[in-house]
Amino acid sequence: MSEKNNQMFEFWTKFNSAHSYLQRTQFKSIKKAKITLPQFHVLLVLNFNGPTALKKISELLAVTNANITCVIHNLGKLELVKTETSKIDRRVIIADLTDKGRELVDKYLPEFNSVMSNVLSKLDNEEKENLVASFMKF
């Protein structure tokens, strides 16, 4: 195997390992909520951004529009999110938290933040800044 292939394989394995670790760690902090991690991520977007177009949510979470539509539909069934058609452009669907959704975020966000702070404590400030700058290239 060439040096370049070895380098790519090492990057892939380390990146995949870090991603899996973060997913598992985040999920542990919200598993009692009985929702999926992607559902919680959508709730976080709505919590911090307020009413948001589905297309914008999909862009922020780097997932397809179809995926967000499904996640929002399932959150709606759980009465955690409500949707409405934009008054400006009827092709645009806006999602927002319901009171029940806001309560769920308020309940689980402190533990989620604590877990993420613990993960990030392994990096110094410069490493955090470099990591964010690297991710901004994607």
Is the alpha carbon torsion for 89, 93, 97, 98 positive or negative? Answer: positive
- What pTM does this model have? 0.87
Model confidence over 4-62: pLDDT tens digits?
889 999 999 999 999 999 999 999 999 999 999 999 999 999 999 999 999 999 999 99
| Amino acid, res. 39 | Q
In SS3 terms, 49-112 reads as HCCEEHHHHHHHHCCCHHHHHHHHHHHHHCCCEEEEECCCCCCCEEEEECHHHHHHHHHHHHHH
Name the band, by pLDDT with cuts 50, 70 and 90, for residue 1. low
